[in-house]
Amino acid sequence: MEPLTWTGSLGTILDPVLYAVAAVFVIALAIQIVLGIASGGARVVTNPDGTLSSASGPYGMSTAATKWIGLALVVLVLTYIVMGAITGPAMVGIIGGMSQQLLPVWIALIVTFVVSIKFKRKLGLYGKLFDSTVGMIGFALVMFWIFAGVMAGVFDMISTHDSLTQVSGMKNKLPGTPLNGAEEGDYAWYLLGGDNLARDVFSRLFKGAWVVVQIAPLATLFAFMVGITLGLPAGYYGGRLDTILSFMANLILAFPVILLFYLLVTPEIVATGIPNYMATVLFIFPLVFLAVLLNSRFYTQPSLRTPLLIVVLGITGWIYLSLISTNGSIVSTPTYNIPGLPGAIDLFNIEAGILVVFVSVVFVNAPTVFRIVRGLALDIKTRDYVAAAQTRGEGPWYIMLLALLPTARGPLIVDICLRIGYTTIL
């Protein structure tokens, strides 16, 4: 069987057109940038009646040219993807094979965009995302990997081979290499080649996406719970508490991140149970946060507060114990064992490798979040409405969680969105 090329037989027709359009697009974009600098960056002009209109002249013409050439480039790329999804590798080579395997992802993306655009006026802030071209592009990139991760990890609809299976003779092979000794029913190629252990890179790419989709948002959320729970009292109370917590945060930040990761994933360190102990401490902060929040919010309504705390903390406590318990043990070393939830009521078991990564990411991100929250609390606590709340006799945690924290939500929302990206890279 012959190796696949990137664009197959379709590429003999469309590749020269694609290269020519891409070259013209780069030239048009460069001209637009030069003219934009020469004209002072003015993209609109003010008419005599006070209305605004797009800039005309050379800059306006270059903008229009760049737009239409860019659209032509997008149409060509979509042609490869659509034809690949229909015909597969037989006509469009490697791109066709990948596009065909990703067909469920394309369908999910199309349905999501059609429904979201149709009802965007009823979807609040989420709906406004579809009024921006840049916003839609970013949303499409994020949702592509979320859909791909879910469909590869949960439904196993994308992978062409088992992500851990090693095939003789496929070590470090180039993309499109035919599979040696493929049996009937096996996918015939390694679409993105083989890695240094002769495993399929394409399958591993999307199986790995599922791991990231699980870890990145949850680890970021847990890091924020830790940072908020410690950063608010540090900034609000100040004094010795602030000094101690800031010293501990700076101590962690002083170490290179990659060195901390290497230490935490070292087999000898893992064997001591240190990551499990860290998980036991770090994962309890969401419980503390929820308990303090509910107690502060409903402190004057004990008939509602008490049953609410029992239900919420009971459920979250069960999830917490399930998180830190693996096969009936919280910590299991060659010398001792700390029992956890019995298997019958343990909701899930996190793989040892995933738990170490999860704990490492939370441990590294929490001090940075702590410093952000502490700085915001130091600023906001001087506002007049905080003094008014103190005058009314509100408790410190009520002020921190229901006066300081809502005011700080803007910077924190921005940071949590950025930090999910950083966490993905980590």
pLDDT at 12 over 80: yes
Residue 346 has pLDDT above 90, yes or no: no
Sign of CA dihedral 106, 107, 110, 113: negative
pLDDT given at position 50:
59
CB 205 within 8 A of CB 163: no
pLDDT at position 324 over 90: no
pLDDT at 56: 59
Percent of the chain whose predicted confidence (pLDDT) is above 90: 58
Q: Residue 176 above 90 pLDDT?
A: yes
Name the band, by pLDDT with cuts 50, 70 and 90, for residue 270.
confident
Banded pLDDT at 339 (limits 50, 70, 90)? confident
223 near 419, Cβ under 8 Å?
A: yes
Give me the pLDDT at residue 28, please: 93
- Summarize pLDDT for 13-61 with one digit per residue, the tens: 999 999 999 999 999 999 988 887 876 655 555 566 656 555 556 777 8
Question: In the predicted model, is pLDDT for residue 364 greater than 70?
Answer: yes
Residue 393, both tokens: 């006799």
**DSSP secondary structure letters along 190-230:** ETT-B-TTS-BHHHHHHHHHHHHHHHHHHHHHHHHHHHHHH
Q: For residue 349, what pLDDT band results from cuts at 50, 70 and 90? A: confident
| DSSP conformation letters of 15-77 | HHHHHHHHHHHHHHHHHHHHHHHHTTT--EEE-TTS-EEE--HHHHHHHHHHHHHHHHHHHHH
- Most trustworthy range by pLDDT among 244-248, 319-323, 337-341: 244-248
pLDDT of 213 higher than 80 = yes
- Residue 54: per-residue pLDDT: 57
Q: Does pLDDT of 306 surpass 90?
A: yes
Lowest mean pLDDT among 48-62, 180-194, 383-397: 48-62
Residue 304: pLDDT band (50, 70, 90) is: very high
Pair of tokens at residue 388: 């008014």
Q: Strand 52-54 to strand 44-46: parallel, antiparallel, or no bridges (unpaired)?
A: antiparallel
Kindly state the average pLDDT of the residues 235-244. Answer: 94
Query: Other C-beta atoms within 10 Å of 265: how many?
Result: 15
DSSP codes joined into one string, 111-132: HHHHHHHHTGGGSHHHHHGGG-
Return d(Cα 93, Cα 4) in angstroms, integer: 5
276 contact partners, CB below 8 Å, separation of at least 6: 324, 330, 331, 355
Over 70: is that where the pLDDT of 415 sits?
Answer: yes
Name every residue whose Cβ is closer than 8 Å to that of residue 55 and which is 6 or more positions away in sequence: 39, 42, 43, 44, 45, 63
Model confidence at 245, in pLDDT bands (50, 70, 90)?
A: very high
Quick check: 231 pLDDT over 80? yes
Contact 88, 9 (CB under 8 A): no
Please report the beta strands in 265-379, taking only residues with DSSP state E, as ranges in sequence order.
329-332, 337-339
Question: Per mean pLDDT, which range of 37-51, 103-117, 177-191, 240-254 is the poorest?
Answer: 37-51
Q: What is the mean pLDDT of the chain?
A: 89
Distance CA 331, CA 333 (A): 7
Domain ranges of the chain: 1-93, 211-425
- Residue type at 81? I
Is the pLDDT at 343 greater than 60? The verdict is yes
Give me the mean pLDDT over the 158-182 stretch: 89
pLDDT at 207: 93
Average pLDDT over residues 153-159: 91
* pLDDT the model gives residue 331: 84
Residue among 110, 107, 158 at smallest CA distance from 136: 110
Put simply, whether the predicted model's pTM sits higher than 0.85 gets the answer no
pLDDT of 40: 62
